[in-house]
Amino acid sequence: MPSRRAIHGPYGAAHAGVEARPMPRPVPEVISGAGRHAIEGVRVLVVSPVRSTRDRLVALLAASGARCLHTDDAEELPEFLAAHRFDVVMLSDQIAGASAAALLTDRPRETSAPPSVVIVSEHPTMEQALAAMRAGAADLIASRPSADDLLACIAGAAEKSRARRAEARRVRRLRRLCRRLNSARREVVGQIESLCDDMAGAYERMSDQMTRVAISSEFNSLVRQDLDVEGLLRTVLEYALARLGPTNAAIFLPSSSGEHTLGAYVNYDVPKDAAEVLLDHLTTVVPHRFEDVEAPTHFAGDAAMERALGEDAHWLEGRGLVVMGCRKDGETLAVAAFFRDAAVPFTRAHLESCEIIADLFGQQLGRVIHVHHRHLPMDEWGLPGDPTSR
């Protein structure tokens, strides 16, 4: 068995575990200057079981400035390829040429480009050329070529290797750019999503404001035409029902005696024989509890109703209630209540409409009182629930 020890090639690099092979002397063949220049510095691995073929090829290439290593065992290919980077591998067809060439050319290209493969044959044939091409080999050459043919073959194969390495570098660079672009894309998409959320929120707020302005303008144009309490109450209830839908409604007016009277009402689903009793009871309960509440207050469900009305909650059992104080200059001039079956609840949009109605109703009611009592001193003005104000 041959000894296994380090071999030093023309690179000056050492490869452990490979049989030492002395470099042959260059053969006395004439090599043109152009050919010599074309393969100077090209790294070549010669794989052939025939020593004379190896020696002749290595001698020709080394004489032209190529940097060569050689072996007679195809099983050593992975070790050589792991330890060195070759431009060209010259592979004898006696060592499973096509399959070995495919093994070389099919190596993963993410990290490095494979070297070009040149198949060396004693007697090249068309069938061998086709098989070599299918396996990815760069060329097929005779085992005893002329110097110029060998150099031209190696120069062409080396150029293909350089092109593949350049392509591999471009691919790696493009992959890096793609990763950075993908990261930037994710960042931009995140910013766009955040911007869209902000825009959607801003649009919703603007839409709500425009709706409020439209409701305010519409309702204000209606109530400003009413300069008596009865007409104003009728307009308010008609508009409220248009915004809230079918519902029971009652407006309670304060009087100078400290009590409240029922100024106007709408009976939607309360039986006629029970409506009067219910409204009279609400007149004694609701205004006193909510006359100081500024914003419309919504009570949905029996539990909420019990917290709001206490032992009187049974009068509105199974219903939803909205109560709002109608104020001007900090004084409550009316208390409005809307109630209906809890199966048809009041929405946030309904509450916003109630807030606008309460504000404008209170302002207009204050103007009506001023108009009706402008000939009297302010300390003699009555309240909307006084008999003189009706």
Residues 142 and 289 in one domain: no
DSSP 389: G
Strand, coil or helix: 305: helix
Residues 83 and 143 in one domain: yes
**65 lies in some domain:** yes
The CATH number given to whatever domain includes residue 140 is 3.40.50.2300
> Would you mind telling me the total number of residues written for the chain in this entry?
390
Residues 157 and 275 in one domain: no
Digitized pLDDT (tens) for each residue of the chain, 390 residues in all: 343 333 334 433 334 344 434 444 444 444 444 445 578 889 999 998 889 888 999 999 998 889 999 888 877 888 888 888 899 999 888 875 445 555 565 554 445 678 889 999 888 888 888 888 888 888 888 888 888 888 999 999 999 988 988 998 899 999 999 999 999 999 998 889 888 888 888 888 787 778 778 888 888 888 888 778 888 999 999 999 998 999 999 999 988 777 889 999 999 989 888 888 999 999 988 988 888 887 888 998 888 888 888 888 888 888 999 999 888 888 888 999 999 998 999 998 899 889 889 888 888 888 888 776 554 444 444 556 555 544
Range of the domain at 293: 224-389
Closest to 26 (Cα-Cα) out of 62, 50, 2: 62
**105 lies in some domain:** yes
**126 lies in some domain:** yes
Residues 149 and 292 in one domain: no
pTM to 2 decimal places:
0.50
Per the listing, tokens 């689903």 go with 269
Structural domain ending residue among the three candidates 172, 200, 232: 172
**331 lies in some domain:** yes
- Distance separating alpha carbons of residues 110 and 205, to the nearest angstrom: 53
- Distance separating alpha carbons of residues 222 and 236, to the nearest angstrom: 9
Residues 229 and 166 in one domain: no
Residues 244 and 357 in one domain: yes
DSSP 342: T
Residues 243 and 383 in one domain: yes
Residues 28 and 107 in one domain: yes
Structural domain ending residue among the three candidates 172, 193, 215: 172
Residues 17 and 89 in one domain: yes
- Distance separating alpha carbons of residues 52 and 300, to the nearest angstrom: 103
